[in-house]
Amino acid sequence: MRREQPCVWFKSCLLIHDVINPSIRTVAPIADALLDQSFFIKIQFQKLLEIHFRPQRRRACPPATLALFLHFLVHRTAAAGMDVCLSSEQQPGRLREAPCTPDGCLEPAVEGSLQEDGTGGHPGDSNEIEPSLHSLQKFVPTDYASYTQEQYLFAGAKIVIQESIESYGAVVWPGAMALCQYLEEHTEELNLQDAKILEIGAGPGLVSIVASILGAQVTATDLPDVLGNLQYNLLKNTVKRTAHLPEVRELVWGESLEQHFPKSMFYYDYILASDVVYHHYFLDKLLTTMVYLCQPGTVLLWANKFRFSTDYEFLDKFKQVFDTTLLAEFPESSVKVFKGILKWD
């Protein structure tokens, strides 16, 4: 599911669209027109913006951001621009630690507990890991050039997530934040204690971690290249902290579903998904996967930031196969949280 890297002009479009004035939507047609040539760069730049200018804590566009915009236009290079945006003083309202690789940076207490359980070390290590994470042994994490340690507060716990802007699947997106907030505020109503949950597109794992802390039995899924970092974050934040250690499994949308998730063996009370709908070429496979994983009694909770017309087109298709309820809306970040129950008649 990887796309070649095209020109960086799409970064400028997203800068105008999501940072300088989030209410502007006239740039969307431009983004749509450039999609086929600029898919990967659009994703990269959107990650950059949404990490470092969280809509929930948005500030006015700083001068350095305008400089970054000009830098992209003149020099057509992402690297220097990322260096500018990564400066800590531009990061509003979030705690920040020095970047690190998966080889270290565990807090002493957590690191000790992981070693005692035989689960410490690099995300790809497979010598000794918890049985519930045993399926991850075959996966080797991508060697990103840089990582950051981001801290979040949910369910009364400090959660440290290792992120990298080099991969879409190694970033916490606004939809994940909104879904975590919804789970936190409706834990008893959702009856999450011991509930069986599968997350589609878990990325760096924040939603799965929060669901685990709230008492659920969680299976976190994503593409193979992000599972190493996902496992690392899950272990760091759930070992000796949750009643059920989350499981990590590979899930490629629309592929080998019956082989890897036979309905006779896998049933889930909830399917969770956040910011899985954006401008990519696998929306039909995503919907197929959502439908397949839902059985009678399964509730799908989907949170998404709506950016482009294709997002709403997916929502229309979603409503055709799911009885859909809008549970929450976050206007400041354009995120909506939906409940879907598969139609069986």
Q: What pLDDT is recorded for position 278?
A: 92
| Tokens describing residue 108 | 């002493």
Q: What pLDDT is recorded for position 142?
A: 64
**Exposed / middle / buried, residue 178 (Cβ in 10 Å: 0-12, 13-18, 19+):** buried
Residue 160 and residue 154 in contact, taking contact as beta carbons nearer than 8 Å: no
Q: What pLDDT is recorded for position 266?
A: 96
Q: What percent of the chain has pLDDT over 90?
A: 55
Q: Structural domain boundaries of the chain?
A: 9-90, 96-342
CATH fold group of domain 96-342? Rossmann fold (3.40.50)
116: Cβ contacts below 8 Å, ≥ 6 apart:
none
pLDDT digits (tens, 9 = 90+) for 99-158: 333 333 444 344 444 434 433 444 444 333 344 444 444 455 567 788 899 999 999 999
Q: What pLDDT is recorded for position 146?
A: 86
| Tokens describing residue 37 | 């040539």
Q: What pLDDT is recorded for position 279?
A: 86
Low-confidence stretches of the chain (pLDDT beneath 50): 1-40, 42, 51-138
Q: What pLDDT is recorded for position 139?
A: 52
Q: What pLDDT is recorded for position 45?
A: 56
Q: What pLDDT is recorded for position 105?
A: 41
Q: What pLDDT is recorded for position 297?
A: 96
Q: What pLDDT is recorded for position 311?
A: 95
H/E stretch holding 169: none
pTM score, two decimals?
0.67
Tokens 């799409």, residue located: 10
